[in-house]
Amino acid sequence: DAKTTQPTSMDCAEGRAANLPCNHSTISGNEYVYWYRQIHSQGPQYIIHGLKNNETNEMASLIITEDRKSSTLILPHATLRDTAVYYCIAAIYNQGGKLIFGQGTELSVKP
């Protein structure tokens, strides 16, 4: 699986958009980009995933560059409850697909 690189930490003001970058320059053609977040002492929560096209759901938007070497997760209106560690993972989607977690980005949403 391709390795991903994320900033260690980020701050965001409540109500503003949070843009979390992820670099996956060695991603292969059949690897998806997954985003999860983990709030303290809980299991990871699925946010969104995509292959080539930009994706949007009720939680966030995922912007993937045309060369697929990087992506950005956008939380349009961050709230205090969005404070968490956000993980970007590149993995192959198949019956036995493993998710290998990196260190993630610790996002702090401040009032």
Partner 1 sequence: GAVVSQHPSWVICKSGTSVKIECRSLDFQATTMFWYRQFPKQSLMLMATSNEGSKATYEQGVEKDKFLINHASLTLSTLTVTSAHPEDSSFYICSARVEGARGNQPQHFGDGTRLSIL
| Interacting residues toward partner 1 by CB under 8 A | 34, 36, 38, 41-46, 49, 87, 93, 95-104
Token readout for 63 is 């912007």
Instruction: Return the number of the residue (16 or 54) whose C-beta is nearest partner 1.
Output: 54
Whichever of 18 and 88 has its CB closer to partner 1, that residue is: 88
Residue in 108, 86, 90, 107 with CA at minimum distance from that of residue 99: 90
We find the least distance from the C-beta atom of residue 62 to partner 1, in angstroms, to be 12
Please enumerate in sequence order all residues whose Cβ is within 8 A of that of 23, keeping only pairs 6 or more positions apart, or say none. Answer: 4, 5, 6, 69, 70
Of 27 and 87, nearer to partner 1 (C-beta) is 87
User: Which of 100, 85, 103, 104 shows the shortest CA–CA distance to 32?
Assistant: 100
| Least spacing, CB of residue 107 vs partner 1, in Å | 15
Least CB distance to partner 1 at residue 48 (A) = 9
